[in-house]
């Protein structure tokens, strides 16, 4: 592999990995506080894509306004899901909340089929992301450069929120001991709802960029990116925001390099993600940057 080919694959891998990272952050924020694997997270992504799609197609909004509307809608949806499906089960065994998460996932998919139809819809990619830059043999679409940049900016904003604000302090405290923090006067329900809202809004960003990269949307579109983002969160160390980003980048690079170096096995790139998941759970359950979490 020549140097230019390596740069090409590196950029492609970082772009794909950034998408996984944006979605994985939602998984890791929820797990870090509630120890809940929110399997409906990928379907929240799907709802965000439809919101952006209808914002542009019906209301004629510019893409950035459609994205902002999708973030607001999914943030509200995430908070409502937490309040309606997970909060009543907070004291129940974890298997109950896990089953509830699976139920919410199927509910969202079926509601999408009823309201939006099962047929895939073409998702418009703005011209600003459609330009192609070329340096020697390296060709990069603008979307491939914008995706890691947007991910980095959102990650910095999230880390500042977690480390410099009272809300972030409360989230970090809840991740250690929810009962004690509640006894100290912190509004646990509000903080947990905010974690769901922020994670869901980031999923909407990831979903919209995913839809621009693979320009069509359908009610089941959140399943595969959701599962791969979950794998990325586990790979990086679920419960750790930086770990989720690292896991997403590693997974994206691994998939791109598999296709580039072993094209005969490119059909196995989805299986690679789940092999990595099994390997991490067997040999390093805490992931790349994770730590042992208290019960």
CA–CA gap between residue 118 and residue 115 (Å, rounded): 9
Q: Are strands 132-135 and 121-122 parallel, antiparallel or unpaired?
A: unpaired
Q: pLDDT, tens digit, for every residue of 189-232? A: 999 999 999 999 999 999 999 999 999 999 999 999 999 999 99
Quick check: is 33 in a domain? yes
Measuring CA to CA, how many Å separate 49 from each of 25, 60, 90, 215?
Answer: 18, 15, 29, 11
Phi, psi dihedrals of residue 134, rounded to the nearest 5°: -135, 130
Structure tokens at 251: 């997974």
Higher-confidence residue of 290 and 272: namely 272
Quick check: is 37 in a domain? yes
Band of pLDDT at residue 291, cut at 50, 70 and 90: low
Long-range contacts of 267-273 (CB under 8 A, 24+ apart): 270/224, 270/228, 273/227, 273/228, 273/231
Residue 60 has pLDDT above 70, yes or no: yes
CATH number at residue 71: 1.10.3470
Count Cβ atoms below 10 Å from residue 111 Cβ, excluding itself: 13
Quick check: is 149 in a domain? yes
Q: How many domains does the chain divide into?
A: 1
CA 54 to chain centre: 21
Quick check: is 291 in a domain? no
Mean predicted confidence (pLDDT) in 126-136: 89
Band of pLDDT at residue 295, cut at 50, 70 and 90: low
CA–CA gap between residue 268 and residue 262 (Å, rounded): 10
What is the reported pLDDT for 293? 56
Average pLDDT, the chain: 90
Quote the domain boundaries for residue 83: 3-283
Q: pLDDT, tens digit, for every residue of 240-280? A: 888 899 999 999 999 999 999 888 888 888 898 889 889 98
Q: What is the pTM of this model?
A: 0.90
What is the reported pLDDT for 185? 85
Quick check: is 279 in a domain? yes
What is the reported pLDDT for 292? 64
Long-range contacts of 93-96 (CB under 8 A, 24+ apart): 94/35, 94/36
CB 101 within 8 A of CB 83: no
Quick check: is 8 in a domain? yes
Of the chain, the percentage scoring pLDDT greater than 70 comes to 98
Quick check: is 289 in a domain? no
Quick check: is 294 in a domain? no
Of the chain, the percentage scoring pLDDT greater than 90 comes to 61
């Amino acid at each position: 592999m020549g140097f230019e080919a390596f740069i090409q694959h590196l950029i492609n891998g970082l772009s794909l990995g950034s998408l996984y990272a944006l979605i994985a952050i939602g998984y890791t924020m929820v797990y870090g506080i509630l120890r809940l694997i929110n399997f409906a997270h990928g379907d929240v992504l799907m709802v965000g894509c439809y919101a952006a799609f209808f914002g542009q197609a019906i209301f004629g909004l510019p893409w950035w306004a459609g994205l902002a509307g999708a973030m607001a809608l999914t943030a509200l949806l995430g908070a409502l899901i937490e309040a309606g499906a997970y909060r009543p089960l907070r004291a129940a065994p974890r298997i109950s909340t896990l089953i509830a998460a699976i139920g919410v996932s199927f509910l969202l998919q079926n509601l999408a089929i009823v309201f939006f139809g099962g047929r895939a819809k073409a998702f418009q990619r703005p011209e600003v992301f459609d330009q192609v830059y070329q340096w020697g043999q390296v060709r990069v679409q603008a979307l491939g450069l914008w995706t890691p940049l947007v991910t980095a900016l959102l990650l910095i904003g999230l880390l500042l929120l977690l480390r410099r604000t009272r809300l972030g302090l409360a989230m970090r405290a809840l991740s250690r001991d929810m009962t004690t923090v509640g006894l100290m006067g912190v509004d646990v329900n509000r903080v947990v709802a905010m974690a769901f809202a922020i994670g869901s809004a980031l999923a909407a960003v990831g979903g919209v960029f995913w839809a621009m990269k693979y320009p069509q949307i359908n009610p089941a579109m959140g399943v595969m990116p959701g599962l791969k983002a979950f794998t990325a969160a586990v790979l990086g160390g679920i419960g750790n925001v930086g770990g989720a980003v690292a896991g997403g980048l590693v997974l994206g690079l691994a998939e791109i390099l598999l296709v580039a170096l072993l094209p005969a096995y490119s059909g196995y790139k989805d299986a690679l993600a789940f092999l990595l998941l099994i390997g991490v759970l067997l040999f390093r359950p805490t992931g790349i940057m994770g730590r042992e979490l208290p019960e």
